[in-house]
Chains A and B, each alone.
Chain A
């Protein structure tokens, strides 16, 4: 029972991070129909930025803000300078993101070194104690849940209640019609990439917290994020969040009961199962849209 509770709690924390990462993928997929393979590398890069700030003696919170702002700028820059040049050719755009993935890792190795570095956590990593037992629920897990929750609420508010959000949604549904109605479609796409990269940066920081970073540390997270996004349906932000939590929980149970060496295999099995049984994802309204 205690093990079940602990694996569940661990899974929820990890799942929240996968959810954020999957959400970043979904935001970009919805607006530009590009699967951004560079998402993890971009998050790795901003995490290194945060680490550089921390190494200069700044507090964690300043580094957090630097990483998020860096994500915004990086996302906007990648869309403006690279992805837009191959707009209209989705395959080319996907290949370009793969190239960026390699390039960001190479640049990070040059700038920050290809060695393992420890990344601090803003709060304790010691599990809370209930009665006499310590559970796998730490202040850092609380930090993960709160920060992901805040970002999610912010995005929902942006998309639901502001004009910019409305125009971004319209652009995602039909850029041609939006353009005809006077929506600055290009700016909406840039903003979409910027916001996605911000969410991705947060995921990168949370994965790194209290752990080690190296240029490839996000690689496995990319895979789990993709599985989560596909599970939820690439078109559905809500689905990405549920998919992320489901993957986090599922992989945590695999780790806890079967062995951590089976985790990548389990992720692959989940991916194949979803693609075979329900390729549009659990939550996508793809069938309705196809009409």
Chain B
């Protein structure tokens, strides 16, 4: 079942010609003797949804970890706004303008929903370390601004009435929405979504798809996902990995019929 695309499909080539916001070029990652990624390239256009798919073990997660600095490639380059990024580290990610969600939810269990999201908004904190420690007036204002920002993000995702709850007491789909709010509140230019639909039902997945499309007005989205319906319906462009190599790259309609993709997924749900 392929959902109708909420937005018109951009004309073929339109995304390709736009200067990429983020690009991975010729990346290679080896774990011991195992080649996890081999000459992998991908270019994320501003305001687009870029899917990364592939069978289990194809290297999707490794590629994602390269994109957020968890794994440093043995060869190849990353670039952001056309500038090479030499030293991408997890702690620099938020400041750069990249947010990611984690597989599962990765929420802080002992912090309330609002507090969780406030941590995500940390990038917008203005008061310095010292004044914040001394709880000066400015820091106090700052903290209220962060709280408002967090509540607005929760409201946008329909989770505002869970604001004071602990994540552990909420149903899994709600936790996923909170995790998404925590990523969105940073107002990133690029959002990395790691299996956002896992554990969601049909309706929730449709909602998620619609939400991802609305995000393109504000940011680019990179999506690693197993659910083909979702990927095919929301992505502008899809990169298909198999055994650490890119076997196809293009708009969903092209990729869907690509023999290499069908081959990679033989016996899996993608063959429709």
Contact = CB atoms under 8 A, between A and B. Distances in A.
Interface of A: 157-158, 161-164, 166-167, 169-170, 173-174, 176-185, 187, 191, 285, 288-289, 291
A183 B122 contact: yes
Nearest to A163: B143
A95 to B, nearest CB: 28
B111 A169 contact: yes
Contacts of A288: 168
Contact of B133 (A174, A184, A191, A285): A191
A173 B133 contact: no
Nearest to A166: B115
A181 B143 CA distance: 17
A177 B135 contact: no
B19 to A, nearest CB: 26
B72 interface: no
A177 B110 contact: no
A116 B146 CA distance: 53
Interface stretch (B10-18, B87-95, B151-159, B253-261): B87-95
Contacts of A164: 129, 132-133
Contacts of B139: 162-163
B172 interface: no
B109 A173 contact: yes
A263 B62 CA distance: 57
24 contacts: A162-B132, A162-B133, A162-B135, A163-B118, A163-B146, A166-B119, A169-B108, A169-B110, A169-B111, A169-B115, A170-B115, A174-B108, A178-B108, A180-B90, A180-B91, A181-B119, A182-B91, A182-B93, A182-B95, A182-B186, A183-B119, A184-B129, A185-B91, A289-B109
Given A163-B143, A164-B132, A288-B168, A181 B122 contact: yes
Given A177-B106, A180-B68, A187-B129, 16 more contacts: A157-B135, A162-B133, A162-B135, A163-B143, A164-B133, A166-B111, A169-B111, A170-B108, A174-B108, A179-B90, A180-B90, A181-B99, A181-B119, A181-B120, A185-B91, A289-B109
Nearest to B92: A182
A176 B69 CA distance: 12
Contacts of A285: 110
Nearest to B96: A182
A235 to B, nearest CB: 9
B46 to A, nearest CB: 22
B110 A173 contact: yes
Contacts of B127: 163
B106 A182 contact: no
A247 B118 CA distance: 38
A176 B100 CA distance: 12
Contacts of A178: 108, 119
User: B interface, how many residues as a size bin?
Assistant: 20 to 34
A184 B91 contact: yes
Contact of A170 (B91, B95, B111): B111
B237 interface: no
Nearest to A180: B90
B270 interface: no
A179 B119 contact: no
A180 B100 contact: yes
A227 to B, nearest CB: 25
Contacts of A176: 90
B38 interface: no
A179 B94 CA distance: 9
A163 B142 contact: yes
A182 B129 contact: no
Nearest to A288: B168
Contacts of B106: 174, 177
Contacts of B115: 166, 169-170
Contacts of A181: 94, 99, 119-120, 122, 182, 186
B125 interface: yes
B102 interface: yes
A176 B93 CA distance: 12
A179 B118 CA distance: 14
B238 to A, nearest CB: 25
A250 B99 CA distance: 51
A177 B90 CA distance: 9
Interface string B171-196: 00000000000100010000000000
Contacts of B93: 180, 182
Interface in B120-146: 120, 122-123, 125, 127, 129, 132-133, 135, 139, 142-143, 146
A166 B118 contact: yes
A170 B91 CA distance: 14
